[in-house]
Structure 1
Amino acid sequence: MTAIERLWEDFQLPIRDALHRADGRSYDINLDSDAPSGFRVLAPFDLDEMLDRDPSWATSVDGLVAADLGSKGLLWGGEGSYGSEGFIARLTVDRALTWAILFTESNPFDRIQLSGNTATFGSTSGVEITVDIDDPGTSAYGGTTNCRRCPAPWPPPRPPLRLLFEHAPDACSAAARCRGGPMRRP
């Protein structure tokens, strides 16, 4: 059992802006209204190491909204122990964790809009997070979008997981004039 699965048994998540997968992979994230999903996935980190330093650095979560996925499980959103925290998660049919994301400054999530494999979670402060429910670390818009200034895909494919990073200038067909980054959502 992974560290995140042990925490989830008590409905807890680490107090850190992060995406956690049940298989033990964890990634730092940050809210970013310019990103297609509303957040950016940053570097991976070792959750076991973090919890070894301070095992009490966790917040209890409580659901405010759910979307039933039938045989595919459940989407769940809600709040943490502190008023500014919000979380979103996907659970299996048996309510085991598939993935979870905690935002320390989003406020609680109280709305879910589902369209196919894309879910948009809305918080009480107006933050909107859009994810591919099968792979929340990639853009919910087909894995890539285009750069704001050129036709280069953003982010460029990075097997096995295409994280939401700015693309390198040499990956851009308009490198001399492009500053990179995702197109803004309409």
Structure 2
Amino acid sequence: KKEYVISYGADTTLPKLLQDYKDPWADYQIDDRISVDDQFVFCGEGEMGNEGFIVKTDADNQINWMLFSTTSNPFIELTINNNIVYIKSTAGFFITLNVKTNEISILNNLK
């Protein structure tokens, strides 16, 4: 009976991460992937168990959008409906990603 919300930490770039952190790297595991209109969406988990990530790449597998969360638990499953990717967390909620606009939202219950 929990309700989850999205709060944004910061937008960043790889050069900015490398400048701000001595060691920004983490091991990760991809749990699911899906192809959408010459793009790919991946989801999975970081090395600590409480982390989850979502990555969208272009057809050449170059990252063009990503979300890394330290409080979401792993993201484990992807489904798509009308250009909206539904990303399931082991915490019991879904992130929705519009692959055309990169808009995200959170669903506490998928009906």
TM-score band by shorter chain is 0.7 to 0.9
| Residue-pair matches, total | 105
Structure richer in strand, relative to its length: 2
Read off the aligned partner of 1:85 and give its amino acid letter.
E
Separation in 1, partners of 2:39, 2:12 = 27
Q: Are the equivalent residues in 1 in contact too, given 2:43–2:76 (CA < 8 A)? A: yes
Q: TM-score, normalised by structure 2?
A: 0.75
Matching residue of 1:100: 66
Matching residue of 2:15: 48
Alignment of 1:1-186 (within 5 A): 33=4, 38-41=5-8, 44-45=11-12, 48-69=15-36, 71-136=37-102, 138-139=103-104
Separation in 2, partners of 1:101, 1:79 = 11
Separation in 2, partners of 1:46, 1:130 = 22
Q: TM-score, normalised by structure 1?
A: 0.48
Structure 2 unpaired stretches of 5+? none
Q: Cα offset for 1:133? A: 1.4
139 and 109 in structure 1: CA distance in 2 versus 1, 3 angstrom threshold: closer
1:21-69 Cα distance to aligned partner (Å, 9 max, x none): xxxxxxxxxxx83xxxx52446545653442232302323221101122
101 and 45 in structure 1: CA distance in 2 versus 1, 3 angstrom threshold: closer
Query: Larger Rg: 1 or 2?
Result: 1
Q: Are the equivalent residues in 2 in contact too, given 1:77–1:110 (CA < 8 A)? A: yes
Q: Cα offset for 1:139? A: 4.9
Q: Cα offset for 1:103? A: 0.7
Structure richer in helix, relative to its length: 1
User: Over the residues paired in the alignment, what is the CA RMSD in angstroms?
Assistant: 2.6
Structure 1 unpaired stretches of 5+? 1-31, 141-184
41 and 135 in structure 1: CA distance in 2 versus 1, 3 angstrom threshold: farther
Percent sequence identity over matched residues? 23
Separation in 2, partners of 1:50, 1:97 = 15
